[in-house]
Structure 1
Amino acid sequence: MNAYPLQDQLQRPIHDLRISVTDRCNFRCTYCMPKEVFGDDYAFLPASELLTFEEILRLTKLFISLGVSKIRLTGGEPLMRRNLPELVAGIGATQGVEDMGLTTNGVLLGHQAVPLYAAGLRRLNVSLDALEPELFGRMNGRGYNPGTILRHIDHAVEAGFEVKVNMVVQRGVNESEIVPMAAYFKDKKITLRFIEFMDAGNDNGWSYEKVVTKKEILQRLQPTFELEALEHSYFGEVAQRYRYKGSQAQIGFITSVSESFCSSCTRARLSSDGKLYTCLFASNGFDLRPMLRSGADDTSLLAAIKNVWEQRRDRYSDERTEQTRTSRAKIGMSYIGG
């Protein structure tokens, strides 16, 4: 467990805002949308309950006034939200936004990369958990071929995007893909980030036995690659970065299970229907949508946001035990985003 003064946590400003623009996804993957729960008849949020682009932009400006400079658009699958380039353009034109990215599974990226780039988006995180077609098809629950995602990644790079690839590693599922994934993206000079399997939500069957830690992943990589550790590039950076020796290509590790980073977290999360969460593993959020739609002024909204942030006590990854998986309800990953 990481020990740190709670007061230090409370004094940290919000730096990074994750905005979920939809709860829908075209995958039914083991990690966040298991097909046993999210079948084809699953009732997703009706459009009337989603924040409008105007509401998202209004809240974005308020968060920026509180210190946010980095915006990440997530889902569900954000590319399923209609007219997304309009939102991207609006956020990009907002004074104070220094960095904007989007996380996607890449299925719809082929025909959306160019419009999104034209709207001002420059960074993409693409989720891809395997290169072996049969395995990848089972993992995404739809039979999608990784070749499609890889072509769309190449297309996005050609369009000008900086692309990172996120791989969630699960024991007994895809740890055999660690070295092939590293080799493929090293050759492409695309950063690959290994993510420890987390108990986000309550439906992905998580247990410690399924976690492949950073230490284990490194042990698999080191016989093949020479790696050198890099310093964090900013306070609150989640990924632990390594460079392939003699190359500018990098890999990263997101170690929420084995090496938590609660004590340096500066992220807030806004769900697609307007709830503010201060942790990926939160049980409850503060609903901003009723205030938005009942005519609350900016002063009132700012006061509510500041109060939620200053009262946070989140340190779930520090406190995680095998029992918390079932004893504590957590918001689903598809709803809150990564």
Structure 2
Amino acid sequence: MKTRSSAWPLAFLFACLVAYASLYPFTGWRDQGVVPLAFLQAPFPQYWTGFDVASNLVGYAPLGFLLALALQRSGSSHWSWVVALGLPALLSLTVEMLQSYLPMRVSSNVDLVLNVAGAALGVALALLIERLGALRRWSQIRANWFEPSAHGSLVLLALWPCALLYPQPVPFGLGHVWDRLESGLTALLVDTPFLEWVPVRELAPAPLSPLAEAFCIGLSVLAPLLMGYADMRSRTRRIVFCGLLLGGAVCVAGLSAALTYGPDHAWAWITPQAQLGLTAALVAGVLFVALPRRMCNVVMLLCLAVSLSLLNGAPISPYFAQSLEVWEQGRFIRFHGLSQWLGWLWPFAALVFGLLAVSRSASASARASKIDS
């Protein structure tokens, strides 16, 4: 039986992540006089670091796992493991060939072997989980907890903790992009007549008040909570999800602070404003358990719109700018800037998802009305 699986979009996103990290910073492309496949005939290097081995293995293991999982969930044949292993191998080969055109990258046959081995470990883990019956149990749990249409929301909710790892000017306040967008557009359009079209703020914006910051924190946490509510089958499950999401958000925020400032400062972000915002999100989450699915998406859109407006209307404090410099010194942690892209774009992807969900719900209601009439 074929079942639509969220593993497909997750596998695609992870493949994009691997390609991004492997080809970063995407500058200096040129023909270096090297045949792209020449690295296959090169002898294995005598020395390599443990980090290189671990990063190449771990980097491709989730991709193999997700592809094998998606193929199994889609009802593919028993030979799906060949496809799940072949696609990461093809991706790795393509990336290594492209690296021959980047002066800052070195194509390596060891990397190719380790990438394929990592993908094989992921495929083996997926097959083991399937043999143990874990996939059937997960399918039953998903059917009991979520609506059959819950796919995009699960992908976005899975990405939300990753987006929280990048430091934010306000705890959980994703999508603070206007300052960077304004400066980028200004630099791009300088000495052109289009520079006047950029809505540059003439006066320096005022920082958020403590109450506005708490309000923004509450809305930022409430948005993914309502996204999950919209695809859940019962109020009891919504209550459980509320506790899990808030608890997970606190843990991820603590991990982000620990990675940025050190373990001793893991909970420095828990200010009175953060406590008030989290408490407000918890109270609102309990009150909203009875909301219909469509209203959950509508209120989620309102939360995202207001929180984005508050965040992008406030300036970046010098203290926050300093924390970004500390974060960006760790190349592995920030994953070549990818975490910041998640932090910037997640709420906008959620906006698009919410608008599509409301539109589909309205169309379904219209069709039902026509049938009844």
Larger strand share, 1 or 2: 1
Indicate whether the TM-score tops 0.5. no
Q: TM-score range by the shorter chain?
A: under 0.3
Q: TM-score scaled to structure 2, two decimals?
A: 0.24
Larger helix share, 1 or 2: 2
